Amino acid sequence: MKKNVFKLITSVTIWGSLLLYAKQTFSQYYSASKFNAILLCNDGKVMNWGMCNCSGCGLYNTCLNNGYISVSSPTPVNDLPGIFVQVSSYDNNFGALRNDGKLFLWGKNDYGQLGNNSTISSPTPQILSTINNVKYFGFNNTFDNIFNNAYPFVFAIKNDGTVWMWGNNTYGQLGIGNKTSQLKPVQVSNLNNIVKVSCGTKHCLALKNDGTVWAWGANDSLQLGVSNISEALTPIQVPVSNIIDIDASYMGSVLVGNDGKIIIFGHTPYPGPNTIRKIHHITNIKSAKLGKYHILLLKNDGNVYVIGENMSGVFGNGNVSSIIKDTNGVQSAISDVNLIYTRESLNAAIKNDGTLWVWGYNTVADNCTLINYSPCLINSSCALKVGIDEWHERKALIGFISPNPFIKTFSIKVNQPILNIQKVSIQDVLGKYVEFSYSIDESMEEVHFTVENNYSNKILIVQMYVNDIPITFKAIQNN
């Protein structure tokens, strides 16, 4: 029992029940293309390895006769001053975001994907002077190789929640109302309060801080989540809600709802129509990534599952058969995972200890083999950066008060495991603190309250932090 009371900061309130989206954080600390990879160390340094076009690995290595550079193990990228917080790549394009919101890009530039108002490639990182205050960025995710760098484009989310894009725009995937490719960042039409963007070959998804999803670009496989249009040159709302994560790849889309279940549409490895479908039998998911023939899932307990085909051993459970298909979810032989990544038939996971593991079809030069049927540890000279406390922050916290009105006792039930409760207080509408006690029932995910006295003002304001998320309720005393 606790009787301490605290004053809280302002929070968003819906009387009777609460649906609150806390500050959402998304991170990418590893990215791989078909022949190369990039990672972010926990000290903010960036490393690159594999084979890439001489126009841009960011490494001062000898250019081979075939026009490519080959590096066998993670090597520090040159000319990246400062501390970096995110990396991303697309075949022969690479990027790194510095902690001051400055974006560095390097590699090919045939469609203006470097955003520097030119089509001149750069073998070394160049700071992008045409945009500032970036909090998240990425390249589109498609199934290509270093010899066919088709449709490359880039997105960036600024600190104000707006989205900016540049590069190829053949299918209107930049969301700017036309199909003209852009050599420098242009703001996406009618988008704000965006916390994450993910793009496939020719379409994009955006997640708002209210749990809604918006889409634009081509819709030839129904990858926008609607069936009445062939394309959208500006963002349209997908008919879903309460979403906490998104991923777009090739011509498909996968979402994670706050109920821990995935929603798929477009071209995905799950059998059935391309229209929006929720997969009910796999639960407690906090992140999902769409591969070429599979979907990679990370659960709240740190375990990893795969649904789809076991092409090149993407199940990661030691099974060597590539003809096996599974829609129920096969558990990979890895645990304590913090972040996941997939590209075509390559899977990767960063564990909470900062180690990087890969399995599936691995053409990146490193200590692991070409095909790994079980997770293989990448030998890196640094521990990778990991996300801290971002999954429960990302999940929408829903709470219900009962009974209401109450006589002396009431309970608040929430929709997720109670990790901690802080700063609990009850006041009347005039701001006077009320004496009370409370207890936590972790098994029921409930907080039980007892109000010690009767109060002349029957409307009481209950405030507290659950899992570091502030919630507020109005309780009515009836006696």
Per-residue pLDDT tens digits for 426-465: 888 778 888 889 888 877 778 899 987 776 667 888 888 7
**Under 8 Å between Cβ of 359 and 369:** no
pLDDT for res 35:
79
**pLDDT bucket at 365, cuts 50 / 70 / 90:** low
Given a cut of 80, whether residue 479 has pLDDT beyond it is: no
pLDDT for res 61:
58
Q: Where in the chain is the domain with CATH 2.130.10.30?
A: 30-391
Helix (H) or strand (E) holding 118: none
Order of strands across the sheet that contains 36-40: 30-32, 36-40, 46-53, 68-76
Structure tokens at 408: 């002396």
CA distance 107 to 92: 6
Q: What is the mean pLDDT of residues 221-227?
A: 95
pLDDT for res 454:
72
pLDDT for res 398:
62
Which has the minimum average pLDDT: 173-187, 249-263, 305-319, 447-461? 447-461
**Under 8 Å between Cβ of 349 and 337:** yes
**pLDDT bucket at 198, cuts 50 / 70 / 90:** very high
pLDDT for res 55:
61
- In degrees and rounded to multiples of 5, residue 72 shows phi and psi of -85, -15
Higher pLDDT, 470 or 303: 303
Q: Where in the chain is the domain with CATH 2.60.40.1220?
A: 17-21+396-476
Order of strands across the sheet that contains 134-139: 134-139, 153-158, 163-167, 182-187
- For 441-457, letters b (16+ CB in 10 Å) and e give eeeebbbbbebeeebee
Using one digit for the tens of pLDDT, what is the confidence trace for 303-329? Answer: 999 999 998 999 999 988 877 788 889
Q: Report the helix count and the strand count for the chain, using DSSP H and E.
A: 1, 36
3-state SS assignment for residue 237: strand
CA distance 127 to 104: 4
Domain 30-391 architecture:
7 Propeller (2.130)
- For 242-262, letters b (16+ CB in 10 Å) and e give bbbbbbbbbbbbbbbbbbbbb
Structure tokens at 176: 């700017």
Helix (H) or strand (E) holding 204: strand 203-208
pLDDT for res 114:
95
Higher pLDDT, 120 or 35: 120
Task: Tell me which residue of 296, 307, 367 sits closest to 337, measured CA to CA.
Answer: 296
| Annotation: CATH topology of 17-21+396-476 | Immunoglobulin-like (2.60.40)
**Under 8 Å between Cβ of 64 and 25:** no
Which has the minimum average pLDDT: 2-11, 83-92, 114-123, 282-291? 2-11
Higher pLDDT, 5 or 372: 372
Using one digit for the tens of pLDDT, what is the confidence trace for 86-97? Answer: 999 887 889 999
3-state SS assignment for residue 93: strand
**Under 8 Å between Cβ of 478 and 410:** no
Which has the minimum average pLDDT: 27-31, 56-60, 241-245, 292-296? 56-60
Q: What percent of the chain has a predicted confidence (pLDDT) above 90?
A: 46
CA distance 174 to 36: 26
3-state SS assignment for residue 219: coil
Torsion of CA 198, 199, 200, 202, to 10 degrees: 160
Average pLDDT, the chain: 83
Structure tokens at 174: 């930049």
Which has the minimum average pLDDT: 166-180, 242-256, 283-297, 402-416? 402-416
Rg (CA), the chain: 24
**pLDDT bucket at 54, cuts 50 / 70 / 90:** low
Helix (H) or strand (E) holding 394: helix 391-394
Higher pLDDT, 137 or 344: 137
